[in-house]
Structure 1
Amino acid sequence: MQHIKSDQNNSNPIVLFDGVCNLCTTSVQFLLTYNRKENLHFASLQSDFAKKLLARLQVPAADFNTIIFIENEQVYTKSTAAFKLTKHLTYPWKAIYYFRYIPNSITDWIYNLISKNRYNWFGKKEKCMIPRSEWKHRFFE
């Protein structure tokens, strides 16, 4: 796993996720599989890297109820983050990006419903996800 770098390359977007959430870690594995350019990088919200990055970007204490997507120093959360992420996937998954035209009041309501119930519906791990060896270079700790 990589350590925080002061010269973090902005062309490599970062996904911060709840590392103990089964739905979240499964989603990260999905992103790793369909991000063929391998430009997405990841860190759990529980990591020191995420805490330092969020502090540097002046984002309030991590909210473990949302995915946080950072691209070009811009911070996105909830459904906006999910839609922005799909731009980095292969087709047909990339087409999900066009759902961003649905009003945020609707997409964030759905996002919040799933997020609120994710542990009950999908379960929770005792420890943060440990990436497979071929993916370790894309994770910050």
Structure 2
Amino acid sequence: MTEDAHSAVVVYDGVCLLCSRWVRFLLEHDRQGRYRFASMQAQSGRQLLQSHGLDPDSPYSMLLVEDGHGYTDTTAIVRILRSLPDRRWRWLGGLMSWIPRILRDVAYRFMARHRYRLFGRSEQCFVPSPEQRSRFIAT
């Protein structure tokens, strides 16, 4: 799979309700359409995870692929928040970046490990609207 040079790709767990809410949040707030999405259940998501050293069968990480570099966990979240046009999200990303990564990632990993129990799980991946479909990498 090749990445579009003008967009970043967020690989997310398509059956995790929290992860699907994160994608919906980004669809709403990323007005420029900078981010595209690949579920880790899709072949394209699995390939991206593997190419960045992550196990697609046991991923506790969200992956952001931007300019050929992979960012995981809270580093990915901070980068995304700081890129959004709304000042409050950029501010939150900046605030998060002041917290040492090790502490941020410990909290993130705890939530990732327990995400289905805490937030629920869907039997199928999030289905985008026809207008949103072009932002998703389906294969």
Secondary structure at the counterpart of residue 11 of structure 2: strand
Q: Percent identity?
A: 29
CA contact (8 A) 1:43 1:50 kept: yes
How is 1:117-136 mapped onto 2 (pairs within 5 angstroms)?
A: 117-136=114-133
CA distance in 2, matches of 1:90, 1:128: 27
String of CA shifts for 1:74-124, please: whole Å, max 9, x gaps: 101111111111123222112222121211111001111211221111100
Structure 1 stretches lacking a partner, 5+ long: none
CA contact (8 A) 1:15 1:68 kept: yes
CA distance in 2, matches of 1:113, 1:54: 20
CA contact (8 A) 1:17 1:64 kept: no
Taking only aligned residues, the RMSD between alpha carbons, in angstroms, comes to 1.5
Secondary structure at the counterpart of residue 41 of structure 1: strand
The number of residue pairs the alignment matches comes to 135
The answer to whether 1:50 aligns with 2:48 is no
Q: Output the TM-score relative to the length of structure 1.
A: 0.88
- What is the letter of the counterpart of residue 96 of structure 1? L
The answer to whether 1:60 aligns with 2:57 is no
1:74 pairs with one of 58, 64, 69? 69
4+ long deviations beyond 6 Å: none
Shift of 1:9: 2.1
CA distance in 2, matches of 1:111, 1:68: 13
Q: Output the TM-score relative to the length of structure 2.
A: 0.89
Structure 2 stretches lacking a partner, 5+ long: none
How is 1:75-114 mapped onto 2 (pairs within 5 angstroms)?
A: 75-91=70-86, 92-98=88-94, 99-114=96-111
CA contact (8 A) 2:49 2:63 kept: no
CA distance in 1, matches of 2:128, 2:84: 19
2:137 pairs with one of 118, 127, 140? 140
Shift of 1:41: 0.3
User: Looking at both structures, which has the greater relative contact order when contacts are Cα pairs under 8 Å and sequence separation is at least 6?
Assistant: 1
